[in-house]
Amino acid sequence: MLNRSFYLGSLKLPSNILCAPLAGCSDLPFRRMLSKYKPGLMYCEMVKMEALLYNQLKTFPLLDKDPDIHPIGAQLCGSNPKIAAECARMIEDRGFDVLDLNCGCPVDKVTKDGSGSGLLKNPEVIGEIVSNMVAAVKIPVTVKIRAGWDSTSIVSPEVTRIVEAAGAKAICIHGRTRAQAYRGPANWDYIKIAKEAATTIKVIGNGDIINIANAERMFKETGCDALLLARGTMGQPWLIEDIYNHFEGVPAKTRSPIEGRDIFLEHLEHIVAYKTPEKAHLDLRRVGCWFLRNINGAKALREAINRASSIEVIRKMIEDYPWHNCEIIPMSIKEETAAPDETPQSSPLREESGASVTKCEASLLVEESPRLSEEIIQCC
């Protein structure tokens, strides 16, 4: 359950409620918004090892962070053990508190070179990469995986033992296979058997934690040591606070549409302060989908934001909308009917907590950067 003194090695975190690295989403404005609710740890967006090593220009902005927002983690993705140590040192030198190895991203362009969930086919390589990272840095190294490549090759217990022996301080298991993609509910039994295989390593549960009830169920059903929130924080960053209040016996807050409006406007200001006007305009349309998808009566505003000509127009629309006619509804997982082990396609417009991208979000993909168009809302 909730732990207000959660350790990764010698690093003390303020809680065991953590926030996931979301490619295309966990930028600096998003993390500034989350920091208001004081998660135990936040991660930046995933970075490829090779891109970091060879100083690709688009890579370093993904690692932007505020000097006063800690603890903060970075996540690396790659399959080459020979460059793991150097990349790990680069992350440590940039002042990060935690380093995570991505072994879960199911996107084709990541797995084709054996990276991301492609590493699940070679657990021994995961161990070699982790061992090299651990030997190179003083900060704790963690690992994030899916349960296996498909339902016939569940490797969460095996990988847990391997990375524990290699020196990792925690492993996060997402309760779906790579082949399953984002279809159907996460299978938390895959997390439970990993926890049973662990001796000293912390096991973090991930997948479908979109509300207080699922947070409590995850702890009870898996015995995991911590939670990693993903989609649940998109448009409702207060979920972190709600989980704290629930476990600490504080009466639940009723979140009103007016509060949702104010937090949306606050997120807007973080975006405008950080990005160019052109990028901020596009980002506000995408972020608007997150905040408005679970508000009854906000459809007209959502559509108007997509057509808006400027940031100023969007701000005025939000401020003037008749919020008293709206109602916040609980977030839910939208299951899909595709076969559980159907291979994900090359443009997986999904997010790792298991729900589909909204039509609103999908409509913006053609206007976003190539990276976002392929990875938007991917928790890797």
Beta strands in 84-129 (DSSP E): 98-103
Neighbours of 103 (CB within 10 A): 31
Rounded CA separation 162/65 (Å): 31
From 356, 357, 307, 343, select the one nearest 106 (Cα to Cα). 343
Q: Are 156 and 116 in contact (CB under 8 A)?
A: no
278-311 exposure pattern, b = at least 16 Cβ within 10 A, e = fewer: eebbbbbbbbbbbbbbbbebbeebbeebbebeeb
φ and ψ of 154, to 5 deg: -75, 120
> Catalytic residue among 44, 87, 105, 289, which?
105
Task: Confirm if 231 and 355 have CB atoms less than 8 A apart.
Answer: yes
H/E segment holding residue 200: none
Which of 258, 256, 259, 283 has its CA nearest to residue 269? 283
Question: Which residues on neighbouring strands pair with residue 328, listed in sequence order?
Answer: 295
DSSP helix/strand/coil, 78 = coil
Terminal CA-CA length for the chain: 24
d(CA 75, CA 102): 6
Tokens 């509804």, located at residue? 329
326 labelled catalytic: no
The residues carrying an active-site annotation are 105
